[in-house]
Amino acid sequence: CTRKERCERSSEPRRFASEMKQCVRLTVHPNNISVSQYNVLLVLETYNVPELSAGVNCTFEDLSEMDGLVVGSQIQCISPAAKEVPQIVTENGDHHIVQLQLKSKETGMTFASTSFVFYNCSVHNSCLSCVESPYRCHWCKYRHVCTHDPSSCSFQEGRVKMPEETSGLRLLTCPQQPLSSEQMDLMTKPSTIFVTSPLPQSGDQKAPALWIITSPSESYSYEGMEINSLPVELTVVWNGNFNIDNPAQNKVHLYKCGAMRDSCGLCLKADPDFQCGWCQGQNQCTLKQHCPAQDSQWLELSSTKGKCTNPKITDINPVTGPREGGTKVTIRGENLGLEFRDIASHVKVAGVECKPLVEGYIPAEQIVCEMGEAKPSQHAGFVEICVAECKPEFMARSSQLYYFMTLTLSDLKPKRGPVSGGTQVTITGNNLNAGSNVIVTFGRQPCLFYRRSTKHIVCNTTASYEGFEKVKVSVRVDKAKIHQELHYEYVEDPTILRIEPEWSIFSGNTPIAVWGTHLDLIQNPQIRAKHGGKEHVNNCEVQNSTEMTCQAPALAVDPNHQSELAERPEEFGFILDNVQSLLILNKTNFTYYPNPIFEVFNPSGILELKPGSPIILKGRNLIPPVAGGNAKLNYTVLVGEKPCAVTVSDVQLLCESPNLIGRHKVMARVGGMEFSPGMVYISPDSPLSLPAIVSIAVAGGLLIIFIVAVLIAYKRKSRESDLTLKRLQMQMDNLESRVALECKEAFAELQTDIHELTSDLDGAGIPFLDYRTYTMRVLFPGIEDHPVLRDLEVKQQHFLPLTPLMPPCSVLNSRDSAHAVFQTLETPGEAREGGSALSSTRTEHMNSSVPWVTCWCEVLRQIFGAAGSNLMLPFHPHETESVAEKMLTNWFTFLLYKFLKECAGEPLFSLFCAIKQQMEKGPIDSITGEARYSLSEDKLIRQQIDYKTLVLSCVNPDNVNSPEIPVKILNCDTITQVKEKILDAIFKNVPCSHRPKAADMDLEWRQASGARMILQDEDITTKIENDWKRLNTLAHYQVPDGSVVALVSKQVTAYNAVNNSTVSRTSASKYENMIRYTGSPDSLRSRTPMITPDLESGVKMWHLVKNHEHGDQKEGDRGSKMVSEIYLTRLLATK
């Protein structure tokens, strides 16, 4: 499209068109071909075409292009070849339209085009659709295909759409199902269907007018009981898979009498053509042939006995109403009659006649009746109906009660509103949900009912035609009028005095301030604008009676094709309830201006800036051209999530970028629109050269690394100091807690006594040894059968040679000879192995002459006195090694026997028992000998050991049937300790020498389930941690309080055999050993077992505490023994 002087060769004929009739036009013959036709000659008639001596090309869009032959005013083209023909698919219909274009070889431009159609007959699969196609399609009946080539039909008499046939005749010649008005029932009997027949094939003489098709199946069915009648499509198929057309859309109804007809009434009201009836014997709706043969069991609508018995009422609504009547009660149920006359005069509600209404009656299902007036004495009752006649089998009573209510009113809000109405008023009272119909009037004006509940009725006021006045509120429920003095005042409608500003943008949502009168009367104010026949509204908020704020409504303008000029809305106003006068404000000049339009930053959409540089958003219409120039839009620009300060001009918006680094999305918002011009990338400023930047960066990096290293070292030292301080503080806190706990426990323990001891001693007394046994254990400790106690095993004839030996013995009785003997035996270097035995033998020899022993001791005193003051006798008799010392201790022990038996023995034994009992109240380490209650500070457990006291029931080994013996045990005791305590409890009145040894017994745990388990100090369950093996305790086996145990004879297992050969511990009771020693007991320190590692595995044994003298003891374990003073209270309690 251009001016004539700019068009080349415009002066030549038909080179320039200035009128419509001079435009190039084309017509093509034929204008459509089948997709299966290729290289067809097409003739194009041209009009107003310029001289085409340079040649022309024919183009079928992007399918193909070939040379056109110009013959006068005609152009001949060839249709595309087979590979270039478009594929016509069923989804696109039966044709495809392409543009046949003419392209000039002179200019290479397309100068004319027309539409050309490719059609596809094969997409039609029915005769009717084929012959109704506007294209040259033919239907082959016997092949059941649609084709564009009639010669492809096998038999010409089977072809439809011959050229001489009219359209109506073509449709009639298609094989098809005729229109049928008969109800075809496939449920009860086979059906016959008539269809027209195709024409006979060539050579056939007979031509039947129709075929008779009988359904091969007796009945059809469908799943489910939710549908009682299902219309289904009827299709007749011949020759295997050819469907005969069904233009009449004939359907067959499949139905089930029992579907959704659970009652007699619903069954008999079914379509009579279904022939359904109620079978009373089976209590279901079915066909007659499916019901037993007795006629009395079958009910159908046409029979004289076609009345359903046992009517039932399932629901009534409403269940309350005013006493004055008029309430429409809806009664729903079963078998409620088949005709209105059956129930027309037989309905009572709460003893009051209820008149049935024809318009609300649904046969067999629903009755709607209008209540009459009730007497004052009637308050509630049931609904009763009779169907046709009031016999028991035709009567029904509801399970629900209907109540007569008294309705009252108390208040209404609001009490005033505009005279034009539209105010939603809430009336409060009691029983306001009773009845079926509510009418509220304000004076003579109705208040449109909205909703109600027990306490409220809500309605919308209508306009008052009597002006401003206070009117009386009247409420009528059915025929009851509620009498209560309530008033509502109609006041002057609101007015609009001023609007600022009187402009907005097309997207709206700009703030508008509105001033007027009586604005507080409006409950839901809105502002509206209508443009181009479309209305937009927005909400307002009332501030007080004279002021409210609104958001301007948008204008119905296409944002993609908005005008650059200001627009005035066709209508502009306010929706203030029902005030019509403000819907359109004629005096306002409200104007809409074009939306601001922003430009994107650049094609990439990313704007690179330096910190502190402003972000500039370019655009237009950023400031509306309002008269006076005081227009201002509230722009909000977000960079990422942070807003920025905005400065606006007409063509750009300046945004002071926030203190951000990196890439962030920019979003501009104004009114009801928002736009993102792209992303902004803020990079830090870099005024230095690249080498300087690299040097500074390297130096800075090294400095940072150094500072970080210093900080890390400082932080590590500081953290270690803090950890040390915290650890010390925690230890101090723990020590303080332990001191407090120990003081509390010590105070409690100081109040206890050992009164149990006296009861144990009363029975058997002190187990004294006889003098002979006493002396033998002193002289020969550990030897049960010494030769001096036996007769000399020498024959009689050997006695005479021994007589010379007797004088030396007598020599020893002399004082001088004794002095010489002692000096000889005590001379250094002499053999002293037998000295102790010699002294014991000599003492025994002189036992009958104690004065001589005393004489010997006097000799010893002289010897030791001459030796000097540096010689000290050992305090413990068991530690003596020399002959003189042994003689002295033996003499001293002989003299103590009477004193021990008569004076000191009983207190000493009581002291021993008391110490034993006190120590066994707390944990005792069986390895180190340390105890919670100790007399020695060195052997005091200086750790907190958690333990519990258990009471076990022990079976008496002497008498299994005797009562079980309770024994107090600690759950931290080893199995050997437990056995020793059990032996002490069972044999507490038996001397230790007569008791069984703990090493010879096994501890058996008899569980409640009947299982028995042997408990041992070491077994396969013993825990080993870091080369330390802990002895098993009761806590290890999780033996509960009150368990039953028994001591049984030692059982040797494979594990015990190996264990006994590799690990040796003191198995006998240490208390028994102490009693059986010849001298006084040795010190606890000297008897302490040392920790002996396993010879093969190097495993060290421990019980409660690990020996802190070993180097692998943890610092934390030693730290728990740092403050020994806190445990001194235990020593005090034990003493």
For the record, the structure tokens of 429 come out as 């009272």
Q: Is the Cβ–Cβ distance between 232 and 252 less than 8 Å?
A: yes
- What domain count does the chain have? 8
Residue 201: predicted pLDDT: 47
Q: What is the mean pLDDT of residues 132-158?
A: 83
Residue 357: predicted pLDDT: 93
For the record, the structure tokens of 592 come out as 């809409």
Residue 659: predicted pLDDT: 82
Structural domain includes residue 761: no
Residue 738 burial (10 A CB sphere; 0-12, 13-18, 19+): middle
The widest CA-to-CA distance across the chain, in whole angstroms, is 184
Residue 540 pLDDT level (bands cut at 50, 70, 90): very high
Peptide bond into 272 cis (omega under 30): no
Residue 777: predicted pLDDT: 81
Q: Are residues 320 and 294 in the same domain?
A: no
Q: Are residues 424 and 549 in the same domain?
A: no
Q: What is the pLDDT of residues 661-674, one digit of tens each?
A: 888 899 999 988 88
Phi and psi torsions of 878, nearest 5°? -70, -15
Structural domain includes residue 144: no
Give yes or no for residue 901 having a pLDDT over 80. yes
Q: Are residues 559 and 536 in the same domain?
A: yes
d(CA 192, CA 196): 13
Q: What is the mean pLDDT of residues 164-173?
A: 57
Q: Are residues 390 and 451 in the same domain?
A: no
Q: Are residues 608 and 657 in the same domain?
A: yes
Residue 866 pLDDT level (bands cut at 50, 70, 90): low
Residue 433 sits in a domain whose CATH number is 2.60.40.10
Residue 586: predicted pLDDT: 79
Range from 461-470, 912-921, 1104-1113 carrying the lowest mean pLDDT: 1104-1113
Residue 271 sits in a domain whose CATH number is 3.30.1680
First to last CA, the chain: 127
Residue 258: predicted pLDDT: 82
Q: Are residues 965 and 874 in the same domain?
A: no
Listed residues 458, 491, 524: the one ending a domain: 491
Q: What is the pLDDT of residues 281-336, one digit of tens each?
A: 788 888 888 887 666 677 877 665 668 888 999 999 999 999 999 999 999 999 88
Q: Which of 1125, 1104, 761, 1090 is nearest to 916 (CA)?
A: 761
Q: Are residues 1031 and 1019 in the same domain?
A: yes
Q: What is the mean pLDDT of residues 918-926?
A: 90
Phi and psi torsions of 797, nearest 5°? -70, -10
d(CA 890, CA 853): 10
Query: Would you give the distance in Å from CA 113 to the centre of its chain?
Result: 66
Q: Are residues 280 and 344 in the same domain?
A: no
Structural domain includes residue 626: yes
Cross-strand partners of 317: 330
Residue 937 pLDDT level (bands cut at 50, 70, 90): confident
Q: Are residues 380 and 461 in the same domain?
A: no
Structural domain includes residue 426: yes
Give yes or no for residue 588 having a pLDDT over 80. yes
Q: What is the mean pLDDT of residues 613-624?
A: 87
Structural domain includes residue 168: no
Higher pLDDT, 147 or 1068: 147
Mean pLDDT for the chain?
79
Listed residues 901, 930, 950: the one ending a domain: 901
Q: Are residues 215 and 341 in the same domain?
A: no
Residue 712: predicted pLDDT: 92
Residue 961 pLDDT level (bands cut at 50, 70, 90): confident
Structural domain includes residue 70: yes
- From residue 585, how far is each of 498, 524, 817, 910 by CA, in Å? 11, 19, 155, 119
β-pairing, 591-593 vs 503-505, is parallel
In the chain, the amino acid numbered 892 is: F
Q: Which of 87, 37, 91, 82 is nearest to 64 (CA)?
A: 82
Structural domain includes residue 947: yes
Listed residues 354, 376, 405: the one ending a domain: 405
CA-CA-CA-CA dihedral for 856, 858, 860, 862, to nearest 10? -140
Higher pLDDT, 516 or 388: 516
Residue 239 pLDDT level (bands cut at 50, 70, 90): confident
Q: What is the pLDDT of residues 479-488, one digit of tens each?
A: 999 888 899 9
**Domain that residue 20 falls in:** 4-119
Beta-carbon count within 10 A of 468 CB: 12
Residue 561 pLDDT level (bands cut at 50, 70, 90): low
Structural domain includes residue 365: yes
d(CA 631, CA 670): 13
Q: Are residues 470 and 600 in the same domain?
A: no
Cross-strand partners of 195: 211
Q: Are residues 982 and 1057 in the same domain?
A: yes
Give yes or no for residue 402 having a pLDDT over 90. yes
Q: Is the Cβ–Cβ distance between 494 and 576 less than 8 Å?
A: yes
In the chain, the amino acid numbered 563 is: S
For the record, the structure tokens of 1035 come out as 């806590």
Residue 385: predicted pLDDT: 93
At 418 the three-state DSSP class reads strand
